[in-house]
Amino acid sequence: MTQTEEPKQPDAFTCSGLVRQQWQLALHLLFQMPVSGMKLDSVCFASAISTCSKSGRWKDVLRLVEAMLQMGISDFSIARYQHCSQAGSTLDCFKHSVFLMLLQKLISDPSPVTCIDTHAGPSLYDLGGPAQRGILQLIAPPCPPSLGGDVLHAYIHAAMAGTAGTAGTLADPLVGKYQGSPLLALQWLRPQDQAIFYEMSREAFLQLKENVQQSFATATATVQQGNSYWHLAHQQSESRSLILMDPPYDPYETYMAWNLFLLQHFYEKWPQSCVLLWFPYLDDDQVAGLYQRLRLLQLDDVLVAEFGVQETESLETSGFNLDANPRPLWLRTEVQLRELLRSLEFRISQGCEKPVMNSVFWLSGRKKMQCAGKSYRAEK
Ligand SMILES: C[S@@+](CC[C@H](N)C(=O)[O-])C[C@H]1O[C@@H](n2cnc3c(N)ncnc32)[C@H](O)[C@@H]1O
């Protein structure tokens, strides 16, 4: 550049070239490490996964996860996550009522069900501030009968068993607290069913084990400490299963890479499973990227539900992606889900000054061709 030349502003072409170089460089460096005698670990992979995700190299991301599995890299860097800060929030009301709705559908058939919780948590929580406009709003009188009311009622009773206004069926130490997904499931599972709960943190695992022992569960329940992704990616099953994937969302790209890898694995190797993947809705672009990646997985019919309080900074909006088998489970699922969320929206909005929204829509597959509906924000 001569002295009189203006410095060039990077244009879209230059930027996309830089991004391309970054993912290429990340992959190159990663695979050069063993050649130079350096040990590959989860931190190196997490960094390559993040770079490839940001460049939209989704298939490379899945290949990186596969490489981790093949190389036996099972450790997983997790953020210290305390679910108690969210216990009973609008987020939990959404998450747990949808989970219960699907569980009820599965146990309406007498054959055994396996319920898997990939990120179980301790499952028993004191209620904090966010419960005010969540579960506490739901149990506040009056409780008008409304659309979707049966599932919502069942959820309120199960989540807050023993608390004022609800009829409990739990052992004393569990009464009056908020029940997370494992204890919720155990209230519904029958003797012929089984539950498998994975929890990575030792502290949460020990609490969960104790809480499960104190529950009046009739199903066989196994509590396992460890990285659920690692365990499940090595298994296949023909059982009728409901799998709840409720991961933390930080670091987002690493968790999402594993979530999507496992989703594809379940689709291929667990043909009788219904998978429920929870995701945070923090950013429109991030969610649009997730939907794009889900479409690329070609999982057939994928139903998405979004629910949340608009115009909030906190994590009050999130979604579920449902990939369901066996097929009969789909009968009326979409309609029931809409009814449930409409009812939840009505009840939550009575105690909330901000708009509450929900949407249910098919993301891909044959059903998408037949039905209307779309994301309330991401696809506008
Ligand atoms: C959102 S909380 C679970 C809440 C629970 N599903 C509920 O609804 O009551 C996420 C939990 O996943 C655990 N966790 C994080 N990564 C994990 C992994 N790879 N395998 C198993 N557990 C994990 C965290 O320690 C945390 O307790």
pLDDT recorded at residue 133: 83
pLDDT recorded at residue 379: 45
Largest CA distance in the chain: 82
Residue from 80, 115, 174, 199 to probe ligand 1 pocket by mutation (most atoms less than 8 Å from CB)? 199
Q: Residues lining ligand 1, CB < 6 A?
A: 76, 78, 81, 83, 95, 117, 119-121, 123, 180-181, 198-201, 204, 227-229, 246, 248
Q: Which atom of ligand 1 is nearest to the CA of 198?
A: 21
**How far apart (Å, rounded) are the C-alpha atoms in residues 23 and 260?**
19
Q: Token pair of 283, please?
A: 């950013």
Cα separations (Å) of 64 from 54, 58, 127, 257?
14, 10, 40, 9
Using the mean position of ligand 1's atoms as its centre, give its distance from the Cα of residue 78 in Å.
Answer: 10
231 and 332 share a domain?
Answer: yes
pLDDT recorded at residue 315: 62
Q: Kindly report the protein residue whose alpha carbon is nearest to atom 9 of ligand 1.
A: 180
Which of 23, 44, 70 is the endpoint of a domain? 70
47 and 191 share a domain?
Answer: no
Kindly tell me if the per-residue pLDDT of 210 is higher than 90.
yes
Q: Which atom of ligand 1 is nearest to the CA of 180?
A: 9
Using the mean position of ligand 1's atoms as its centre, give its distance from the Cα of residue 246 in Å.
Answer: 6
23 and 96 share a domain?
Answer: no
In which order are the strands placed within the sheet that holds 317-324? 220-225, 194-199, 114-117, 241-245, 273-280, 317-324, 302-309, 356-364
Using the mean position of ligand 1's atoms as its centre, give its distance from the Cα of residue 245 in Å.
Answer: 9
Using the mean position of ligand 1's atoms as its centre, give its distance from the Cα of residue 24 in Å.
Answer: 32
pLDDT recorded at residue 6: 53
Using the mean position of ligand 1's atoms as its centre, give its distance from the Cα of residue 70 in Å.
Answer: 24
Per-residue model confidence as pLDDT tens digits over 108-155: 999 999 999 999 999 999 887 788 888 888 887 665 555 456 888 889
Task: With respect to residue 4, please indicate whether it lies within any of the assigned structural domains.
Answer: no
58 and 164 share a domain?
Answer: no
Residues whose CB falls within 8 Å of the CB of residue 52, separated by 6 or more in sequence, listed in order: 23, 26, 27, 58, 60, 61, 64
Kindly tell me if the per-residue pLDDT of 36 is higher than 60.
yes
Average pLDDT over residues 230-252: 93
pLDDT recorded at residue 218: 93
- Work out the number of other CB atoms within 10 angstroms of the CB of residue 370: 9
Could you give the angle at the alpha carbon of 265 between the alpha carbons of 261 and 270, nearest 5°? 150
Identify the CATH number of the domain in which residue 111 sits. 3.40.50.150
Per-residue model confidence as pLDDT tens digits over 278-332: 999 888 888 999 999 999 888 888 899 999 887 666 666 788 888 776 666 777 8
Task: With respect to residue 377, please indicate whether it lies within any of the assigned structural domains.
Answer: no
Average pLDDT over residues 56-73: 89
53 and 26 share a domain?
Answer: yes
Residue from 85, 103, 200, 320 to probe ligand 1 pocket by mutation (most atoms less than 8 Å from CB)? 200
The tally of domains found in the chain comes to: 2
Task: With respect to residue 106, please indicate whether it lies within any of the assigned structural domains.
Answer: yes
pLDDT recorded at residue 132: 84
φ, ψ dihedrals at 45, nearest 5°: -65, -40
Task: With respect to residue 7, please indicate whether it lies within any of the assigned structural domains.
Answer: no
φ, ψ dihedrals at 163, nearest 5°: -80, 155
Using the mean position of ligand 1's atoms as its centre, give its distance from the Cα of residue 273 in Å.
Answer: 20
Percent of the chain at pLDDT > 90 equals 41
Kindly tell me if the per-residue pLDDT of 2 is higher than 50.
no
Kindly tell me if the per-residue pLDDT of 70 is higher than 70.
yes
pLDDT recorded at residue 212: 94
Query: Which of 81-85, 116-120, 164-168 comes out lowest in average pLDDT?
Result: 164-168
Q: Which atom of ligand 1 is nearest to the CA of 228?
A: 20
Using the mean position of ligand 1's atoms as its centre, give its distance from the Cα of residue 227 in Å.
Answer: 9
Upper half-sphere CA count for residue 24 (Cβ side, 13 Å): 6
Q: Compare 24 and 272 and report the one with higher pLDDT.
A: 272
Q: Any alpha helices (H) in 37-161, and if so which ranges?
A: 42-54, 58-70, 90-107, 135-139, 149-159
**How far apart (Å, rounded) are the C-alpha atoms in residues 62 and 64?**
5
148 and 26 share a domain?
Answer: no
Per-residue model confidence as pLDDT tens digits over 367-377: 666 666 666 55
**How far apart (Å, rounded) are the C-alpha atoms in residues 251 and 259?**
12
pLDDT recorded at residue 86: 82
64 and 129 share a domain?
Answer: no
The residue segments making up the domain with residue 61 are 14-70
